[in-house]
Structure 1
Amino acid sequence: MFSLTAQDVKTGVPLADKAAVIQALADWLEQDGHVAAGYGAGMLTREAQNSTYLGQGIAIPHGTQECRHLIKNTGIKAMHLPDGVPWGGGERAYLVLGIAAGSDEHLDLLKQLARTLSRDGLFERVKAARQSQEVLQLLQGNAESATETKFVLSADRVAVKARAGTLELLVEQAATLMQLNPTEESALQQSAGMYIGQGWWLKQIPADDKPGAALLTASGITHRQQPVSGLLALAVRGSEHKTLLTRVADWLAAGRGAELAGQDSAEALLNVLKRGPVSLSSHQRTVVVRNTHGLHARPGAMLVQAAKNFDADIQVCNLDGDEHWVSAKSLMKMIGLGVKAGHQLVFRAEGPDAEAALDALTEAVNGGLGEAFVAQATEPQAEEHDIHEPQGIDPNTLVRGVAASPGIAIGPVFVDAPLRFDYPQQAGDTQAEQQKLSAAIEQASAELSATLRRLSDTQARDMMSMHRELLADSSLTQGVSCRIKQGQSAAAAWWSEIDSAADRQAASSDALLAERAADIRDIGRRVMAILCHSRMTPPPEHPYLWLAQDIGPSQLVNLDPSRVLGLVTVGGGASSHSAILARSLGIPALVAAGGAVMALPSGTEAILNGDDGTLWVAPEAAMLEQARVRQQREREQAEQDWMRRHDAAITLDGHRIGVAANLADTGQAREVMEVGAEGVGLLRTEFVFMARHSEPDLDEQLAFYRQAFDALDGRPLVARTLDVGGDKPLPYWPVPKEDNPFLGVRGIRLCMQKPELLKTQLRALLMAAGDRPLRIMFPMVADWSEWRWAKALFDKIQSEVQATDVQVGIMVEVPSVALNAAVFAEEVDFFSIGTNDLTQYTLAMDRGNGGLARLSDGLNPAVLRLIKMVVDAAHAKGKWVGVCGELASDPVALPLLLGLGVDELSVSLKRVTLVKAQVREWSLSSCRKLAEQALQAVDAPAVRQLYNN
Structure 2
Amino acid sequence: MHNNNNDLTLSAPLSGPVLPLHSVPDPVFASGAMGDGVAIDPLNDTLHAPCAGQVIQIARTGHAVTLRAANGAEWLLHLGLDTVELQGEGFALLVEQGQQVSAGQPLLRVDLDHVAQHCRSLISLMILTNGEHFELRHLNLSSVKVGEPLLHVSRRTDAPRPERSRADSSEQASALIRVAHRGGLHARPAALVRQTAAAFNSHSQLTFNDKSAPCTSLIALMGLGIGEQDEVRVSCQGDDCQAALQALLKTLGSALADDAHAPAPAALQVPRPASEDGVLQGVCAAPGLVCGPLVRLSAMELPEDSGQHQPESQRLALSTALEQVRGDILRTLEQARQRRDQQEQDIFNAHLGLLEDPTLLDAADAAIVQGRAATHAWSAAIAEQCQILQQLGNPLLAERANDLRDLQQRVLRALLGEAWQYQLPPGALVATQELTPSDLLQLSAQGVAGLCMAAGGATSHVAILARGKGLPCLVALGPVLLEIEGGQTVVLDADGGRLELAPDPQRIAQVQEAVAARRQRREQQRQQARDPALTRDGQPIEVAANVASSAEARDAHQGGADGVGLLRTEFLFVDRQTAPDEAEQRQAYQAVLDAMGDKPVIIRTIDVGGDKQLDYLPLPVEANPVLGLRGIRLAQARPELMDQQLRALLQVSPVQRCRVMLPMVTEVAELLHIRQRLNQLATELGLTQQPELGVMIEVPAAALMAEHLAKHADFLSIGTNDLSQYTLAMDRDHAGLAARVDALHPALLRLIAQTCSGAERHGRWVGVCGALASDPLATPVLIGLGVRELSVSPPQVGEIKDRVRQLDAAECRRLSQPLLDLPGAVAVREACARHWPLNP
Question: TM-score of the superposition, structure 2-length normalised?
Answer: 0.48
Q: Which protein shows a greater Rg? A: 1
